[in-house]
A and B are shown apart, each in its own frame.
Chain A
Amino acid sequence: MASSITLQIRRYRPEDEREPVWESFEVPDRPEWMVLDGLNYIKDRLDGSLSYRWACRMGVCGSCGMVVNGKPVLTCATYLSALGPDPVRVEPIKGFPVIRDLVVDIEDFVRKLESVKPWIIREKEKPLSEGEYLQTPEQLAEYKQQAMCINCLLCYSACPIYALEPDFIGPAAIALAQRYNLDSRDEGTEERMDILSQHEGIWCCTFVGECSVVCPKDVDPAGAIQRYKVKATTDWFKSVLLPWGKR
């Protein structure tokens, strides 16, 4: 078990250097280790100044997304050994400004998440005394897939449109809007459509589909966006052809 593996890490210390640099570290090659365990080994024993985010180490908090050997992944759910014996390259996720080392500024995403009104919108709220809104398992299944997003931002890192068009709302936020639109308890689809039908909403997406490929939770944002486009188009036709009818 004396073998080791090289981690090449994209480092950026804004107080010391103008441009990011690569730095290599040797870490033990252990079969049960994830990439995150390698990073923790570096931080704990070799260089305490390495900066990155992590929390749950079980693939559900969404903190530790990075680009490893060119692919956006959760580092707590990616075996290190499987990537060796060649050096493994670790970079921050793409599309966001780097604050320091592997930490990026995600404020833009948070603003976009808020902008799609990701909460239940109803004209009239049922009093709690009348109990729950009934929702059959089938109705639950309609939106459940889009409710699984952990906000890890791997889809933004993979999205070629977000890289070019920073105003694009982006895969996870649109998927979340769709999660509420598809919820039988919600009546806010039209309200959300105002935001999403702008150019920066859904129409930027050229259906490359990379977002769904990299999603660690099978949320399928690309599918959600397509479904939304179909709905927006039908609504538009209905409003033009049947202006007197109910949309």
Chain B
Amino acid sequence: METTSHDVLLVGGGGAGLRAAIAVAEADPSLDVAVVSKVYPMRSHTVSAEGGAAAVISPDDSLDAHAYDTISGGDWMCDQDAVEAFVREATEEMLRLEHWGCPWSREPDGHIAVRPFGGMKNERTWFAADKTGFHMLHTLYQTSLKYRTTMYDEWFVTRLLVEQGRCQGIVAIQLATGKIHAILAKAVILCTGGCGKVFPFTTNANIKTGDGMALAYRAGVPLKDMEFVQYHPTGLPFTGILITEATRSEGGYLINKDGYRYLQDYDLGKPEPKPVLRSMELGPRDRLSQAFVKELEKGRTVETPHGHVVHLDIRHLGERVIDTKLPFVRELCRKYENLDPVRELIPVRPVVHYMMGGVHTDIHGATSLPGLYAAGEVACVSINGANRLGSNSLTELLVFGARSGKAAAKYAAEQAEPAGGLLAQALDEERRLGEVLLGKANGRERIAGLRDEMQGAMESGAGIYRDAGSLEAAAGRVAEIQERFKSAALDDRSLTFNTERIAWLELSNMLELAEAIIASALARRESRGAHQRTDHPERDDGRYLAHSLAHRHDGGGPRIEYLPVTITRWPPGERVYGR
């Protein structure tokens, strides 16, 4: 087996991974840094983010205001020390990206322009038209080329190597050759993104299968707050393509089948012609997605061949504003819906978008396993609490990518060379992967069929509204799918670019995460943010002002423990929007 070694190894080459890689290189130029990613970095899902990235820059804004919006938006589940660090370092990180060449949209005088965003009391969302994630990712990728980092592009990590209680490397499949390699490292940072593909209808790319979450989980690291799954209120039907919140911050309306701005019926304020901050269409995503379900129940949505929708109306913004501020929205509507939003209504419905939960880390990105770090959507620091605000996640991957890079660099510099026992573990893993490829000759189950069933179980049991009955049913179905997964069939026995073996590994990861999501949701008998239990409709700070930690254990469901939320200056209060 081929073995290489580096000082710090990044798993995942999206926004957080590239930012972390640069941070390591800058913190300690003597360290040898490598990035291993299952896709070329510019394909990572950061590329799809549209609306913008939040950081205080206007003179009438303040760090406290950004912190308060984030904390109340997260229904008081955010760790406030983490949020304070986040808002404090956000602006410098965004400026750094400007210095690296990110094409931020500008005011006429050349200063950075900002736009309003959902749940934000001030205008603080930096944007690059409506392709913010695309420009941030390409800027990071291109800048990272300066640092001569070793890139393992299209390598899929299957296992963390843990010896003497420390994470000391990984095992990966090189897709092009099918060969199994061990890559040893003094520190490993997971930056693999979220797991939207656990659900059937999602804005997430096909690659968002939660690989890093599953790697950490199997290595004994708990997953935090997995019950909090964000539905974005405006996805295109059938494709699930995201229509950015910026459509609403620029002044778009959400209307039901009667042309009525229905959000006024859900304690989100009164309809005004111009957008009002923290009100109506600029409410938080959880509340807007929940309002859609209520409209559906009242029979006020529009039926289409691809499910019920409401309409997003941006016609009154006019062609000029749409082409300057929202050109990608127009491109997407024309290409994927055959409609022009300058003249027509956009059909939209809630769509799984983001995992608030993830690998449990401290505010430096460190996990409970020494040598293992995590940043970006894969991690739960937690700044997002029970509901992330739009435009905080792009900033998060910069701030916590940089933080974890610095922390991992410091840790790696203090470690001895990786231990000798790792190779035996790697050979074990090579044997297992060989069996995946060859041992499925008589399998009966198609991978895609099992994946579809898992996604269906999650949508019906653990969607926007859940209760004990729906979650228990989902748990039963997922357990049954896990059993059948043992006889999943592979058509592809070759080593060269075998994407089916990868799909098998991804599904095994997603099934683990599905169990963790369901178990965490079952245990939390209250309603908070994106976690709405119809059998426990109230928030219960007495019992649940605490993060859930899902621990994996063989031969049974996950074990759930709780960790108190860190409160510094904002005691729990009511979430108030539009009044």
Contact = CB atoms under 8 A, between A and B. Distances in A.
B145 A131 contact: no
Contacts of B111: 132, 134
Interface string B109-135: 111100000000000000000010011
B495 interface: yes
B146 interface: yes
B491 A48 contact: yes
Interface string B233-251: 0000011011000000000
A140 interface: yes
A13 B111 CA distance: 54
A190 B39 CA distance: 33
Interface in B497-522: 497-500, 503
Nearest to B336: A58
A61 B43 contact: yes
Contacts of A167: none
Contact of A183 (B101, B146, B331): B101
Contacts of B92: 128
Contacts of A43: 448, 499-500
A49 B99 contact: no
A60 interface: yes
B165 interface: no
Contacts of B336: 58
Interface in A40-58: 43-45, 47-49, 51-58
A73 B248 CA distance: 32
Nearest to A136: B110
Given A118-B142, A185-B101, A32 B238 contact: yes
A55 B45 contact: yes
Contact of A14 (B142, B145, B239, B496): B496
A227 to B, nearest CB: 18
A180 B500 contact: no
Contacts, number: 160
Nearest to B237: A32
B103 A119 contact: no
A217 B219 CA distance: 42
A62 B496 contact: no
Contacts of A137: 105-106, 108
Given A55-B43, A57-B239, A132-B112, A15 B101 contact: no
A103 B497 contact: yes
A100 B496 contact: yes
A53 B153 CA distance: 13
B112 A118 contact: no
Contacts of A52: 499
Interface stretch (A142-150, A156-164, A198-206, A229-237): A142-150
Contacts of A183: 101
A99 B99 contact: no
Contact of A49 (B48, B96, B491): B491
A14 B44 CA distance: 28
Nearest to A143: B103
Nearest to A13: B494
A50 to B, nearest CB: 8
Given A13-B494, A120-B99, 6 more contacts: A15-B495, A51-B497, A63-B43, A128-B95, A132-B111, A180-B101
> 9 nearest interchain CB pairs?
A134-B110, A44-B448, A48-B491, A49-B492, A100-B497, A55-B205, A118-B142, A120-B101, A56-B205
16 contacts: A13-B494, A48-B492, A51-B492, A51-B498, A53-B43, A56-B48, A57-B241, A61-B48, A61-B205, A99-B176, A113-B145, A119-B142, A128-B92, A137-B105, A140-B106, A151-B40
